[in-house]
Amino acid sequence: MTSVDELIRSIHEPRTDSHSGRPINLRTAGAAPSVSTCDTDLARDPWSIDQRPASTYGPGASVADLIPLGAPRQGKLPDEYTVATEAELERRIWDAKQALGDRVLILGHFYQRDEVVKFADFVGDSFQLARAATTQPQAEAIIFCGVHFMAETADILSKPQQAVILPNLAAGCSMADMANIDQVEDCWADLEALYGTEPDEQGRVPVIPVTYMNSSAAIKDFCGKRGGIVCTSSNAHTVLEWAFERGQRVVFFPDQHLGRNTAKAMGIPLEQMPMWNPNRELGGNTEQQLNEAKVILWNGFCSVHKRFSVAQIEQARAEHPGVRVVVHPECPMDVVDAADESGSTDYITKAIAAAPDGTTFAIGTEINLVQRLATQYPQHTIFCLDPVVCPCSTMYRIHPGYLAWTLERLLAGEVVNRISVDESVSEGSLLALERMLAAKP
């Protein structure tokens, strides 16, 4: 099956299949009946975008999301990598990887493009990959083909002498960047002023901070140091139960949708889930709303998962009677409610693996993973709910050219693009991650 990258380029620059040499047929190229992309600039090479003085993330679903001022910027990639052919880059990557042997570990996120994932030693979600890093202590360098917060988590969990590398520093996560530590500290100060710090008669403190894995190390540290915890999309329910045993209410960073979908499934009414807008006084809430709150939701979201809609589900059901609609809990609540099931990337993968042959799936998550699952399980019909090809555009910034560059610099004895979490921040982050691991359903 044609990769997402080939599909996007073929839409904008009609091309031939790199293996067969035949023109790519858009109707059969992917499981998705897509013939358009969310942004024509996605077809351009990322280094042309990295050179722009940008205040937004560039092409893709998150184009309108603002990059925080202090976010790392990628410098210029040496010309030899931008002019190299796909075949040349592929050969250079394999050669460097082979020469480095087990001195290097390459990790590839589920949402990463196929042209990069094929070089990965492990493929998984952010937490699976961070844990994979801990199983390879002999690796001097861990090249994380994901986004910035994932590389930070790998750095926190790996050995101090291991260097974690993000091939393109522009690969941030727009959702993670929607909550910065200054805003979070201001929010906490307001909540403490309102609720005080005294526990109730059951020993529960007024509020527990919970952060999704998709957040900066600074916010994980903040949560760890205030009795809080991290969650993933697989264990958010368990983590909220853990938090409610210790606190009267929760403030949930940064994904409002994961927080709302999880709390709703636990029976918490929507009226008790006010949203916190960091640009407004008391987050845009009254004291009464906050006093009655059970879960205070930060107003962040994933621009990729926000694209899924109930109309797309209705269309999938009309066109494919009996279709199983499975969506990620980062999708809006009405989409999760209209789907047959919702769950993490791990849940989606296992649901497909366990289904009887001939099942038709409409999946609401990032297109690279959906296309890969469609290839991996040809006995099923699997397509993306979104008819428009729109990958996680920040992860998409990691082109094979950047991977070749980081590997060859490593071979020459130079570590480029190292992601290093300060010890003062990794301490609390580790605490919050360890609490998550210890939390049992």
Is 141 within 8 Å of 410 (Cβ atoms)?
A: yes
175 binds ligand SF4, rule: CB under 6 A: yes
Q: By CB under 6 A, what part of segment 131-150 binds ligand SF4? A: 147
**x/- site string to ligand SF4, residues 2 to 31, per CB under 6 A?**
------------------------------
219 binds ligand SF4, rule: CB under 6 A: no
Q: Quick one: 173 or 208, whose CB is closer to ligand SF4?
A: 173
Tell whether 345 is in a known binding site: yes
User: Dihedral (C-alpha) 97, 99, 101, 107: value to the nearest 10 degrees?
Assistant: -10
Residues 6+ apart with CB under 8 A from 56: 62, 63, 64, 65, 66, 67
Q: Quick one: 233 or 312, whose CB is closer to ligand SF4?
A: 233
214 binds ligand SF4, rule: CB under 6 A: yes
Helices 256-265, 236-246: axis angle to 10 degrees equals: 80
User: For residue 37, what is the DSSP state?
Assistant: B
Q: By CB under 6 A, what part of segment 353-392 binds ligand SF4? A: 366, 392
* Contact range with ligand SF4 by CB under 6 A, out of 36-44, 82-90, 168-176, 346-354: 168-176
> Per residue in 49-71, is it b (16+ CB within 10 Å) or e — as a string?
bbeeeeeebbbbbbbebebeeee
Q: By C-alpha distance, which of 110, 175, 153 is closest to 349?
A: 110
Most distant pair of Cα atoms in the chain: their distance: 72
Least CB distance from residue 160 to ligand SF4, whole Å? 26
Please tell me the distance from the alpha carbon of residue 49 to that of residue 171, in angstroms, as a whole number: 12
List 219, 293, 302, 432, residue binding ligand SF4 (CB under 6 A)? 302
Least CB distance from residue 144 to ligand SF4, whole Å? 12
Please tell me the distance from the alpha carbon of residue 73 to that of residue 172, in angstroms, as a whole number: 10
173 binds ligand SF4, rule: CB under 6 A: yes
Is 399 within 8 Å of 50 (Cβ atoms)?
A: no
List 111, 244, 377, 402, residue binding ligand SF4 (CB under 6 A)? 111
169 binds ligand SF4, rule: CB under 6 A: no
What is the per-residue DSSP string for 354-381?
HSPTT-EEEEES-HHHHHHHHHH-TTSE
Tell whether 329 is in a known binding site: yes
394 binds ligand SF4, rule: CB under 6 A: yes
Q: Quick one: 34 or 285, whose CB is closer to ligand SF4?
A: 34
Binding residues: 109, 126, 173, 212-214, 233, 302, 328-330, 345, 392
**Interface with ligand SF4 by CB under 6 A: which residues?**
62, 111, 147, 173-175, 214, 302, 304, 366, 392, 394-395
